[in-house]
Amino acid sequence: MPVILFYFGRLSVYEPVVNLLIVPVQSFVLILGGMATLISFIYAPAGTLLYQAAWLFLTWTTMMVRSFAKLPGASLEIFLPGWFLMLCGVSAIGLALLTATRPRWYENLLKERRQQLNLIPKFVLPVIGAVILGLIIQALVRQPDGELHVVYLDMGQSNSTLIESPDGAVFLIDGGRYPTRLLTELGDHLPPNNRQIDVLWITSDQPEDISALLTIVERYEIKAAVTSVGDTTEADYYNLIQALQQNKTPIIQAEAGYQIETGDGVQMTVVAPHEDANSLVLRLQYGESVFLFTNSLDEDEEQVLLTDSRHLVQANVLQAPDHAAPDSNSAAWVEAVNPQVVVVQYDPGSRDPGADSGVMARFSNRSVYRTDRNGTIEVVSDGKRLKIYKEEN
């Protein structure tokens, strides 16, 4: 605690309670995770089973931390003199050493060794039980549930959307600029053992949308990639394509009209690029639910789509073009799309414009969700009805 106050100037009033809930399971995370890693070098399937047990305790840890982080007063700014915090830290260490130092240390050491010998048979059954329980819980909570899940990831002022079809096909549209953040989001929304993305959609060559994807290509199996980018000098895009080629991933150069349909009825259609609208615009349809993914359309490109593909832009859910910047989302565009729900992926700390007040006013009679306020936003559809889940920042 003194170290946290010294470096960050913040303190959580819930920290003692959270520690009581998570500290007891950390030994299981470390022991099971370490055993799983070592055994994986010898026999990978056995190591994978042990990881399921470690995952169980790790999930409990993250669930507790995130749940308490949402409560009022979860993080308070407290500034104390550095010398006082150092004194507290040294005092805490000294107290711990005094508590650990006991008389008759040799007898205690022998007693501890006897306890360790008795621990071996007591440890095996709980580990087996944890493995089985972890497998059961994963089977219940992380398997496809027969509904479409469209997850607008909170990646700052970057576009990234994860899509899981009713039967479990996985699409990823862009990835933002932060690899660790993207890996965390994918880990939160995909089963732990899922290391496959069926289609990676690359809508532009801009670093803010694709920089994190190189890490994903290294850690996930990409079955196919779709892009519309032609000649470019962007190094991040070049490195991404090169990595995909090294992995022998099919790369499809898409034009308007290109379409992919999954066996469970999810249909993804490329609405643009046209000759005069270069951004890769995607339309996803499942039953009566339609989603429009627009990346960085400006007003001129919007007008091109309204002229050439007006019948394809109507959607229930709209990803606001260009983060709702001032030169996008014209009144004619919003009226033509006529969305029930608008998602704005925005970061108020970004130098780039977004969530412009004039643009947001055009969405005033619609349900608007913003990643800077609502965190990651998940839209679930059964083909007719929409359910919205917010992470809340």
Q: What is the mean pLDDT of residues 60-80?
A: 72
Least confident of 54-58, 260-264, 285-289, 389-393: 389-393
Residue 126 reports pLDDT greater than 70: no
Q: What is the CATH number of domain 148-390?
A: 3.60.15.10
**pLDDT at res. 14:** 73
| pLDDT tens digits, one per residue of 142-165 | 567 789 999 999 998 889 999 999
DSSP annotation string for 24-87: HHHHHHHHHHHHHHHHHHH-HHHHHHHHHHHHHHHHHHHHHHHHHHTSTTSSEE----HHHHHH
- Bridging pattern class, strands 317-319 and 289-293: parallel
Q: Which residues contact 281 (CB under 8 A, 6 or more apart)?
A: 203, 270, 271, 272, 273, 292, 293, 294, 295, 297, 305
Q: What is the mean pLDDT of residues 101-105?
A: 55
Q: Where are the domains of the chain?
A: 2-141, 148-390
Tokens of 138: 């994963």
Q: Which residues contact 123 (CB under 8 A, 6 or more apart)?
A: none
pLDDT band at 96 (very low <50, low <70, confident <90, very high): low
- What are the two backbone dihedrals, phi and then psi, of residue 131, each rounded to the nearest 5 degrees? -60, -50
Strand partners, 171: 163, 199
| pLDDT tens digits, one per residue of 355-393 | 888 889 999 889 999 998 999 999 999 999 999 999 865
Amino acid identity of residue 197, one-letter, is I
Residue 283 reports pLDDT greater than 90: yes
| pLDDT tens digits, one per residue of 209-225 | 999 999 999 999 999 99
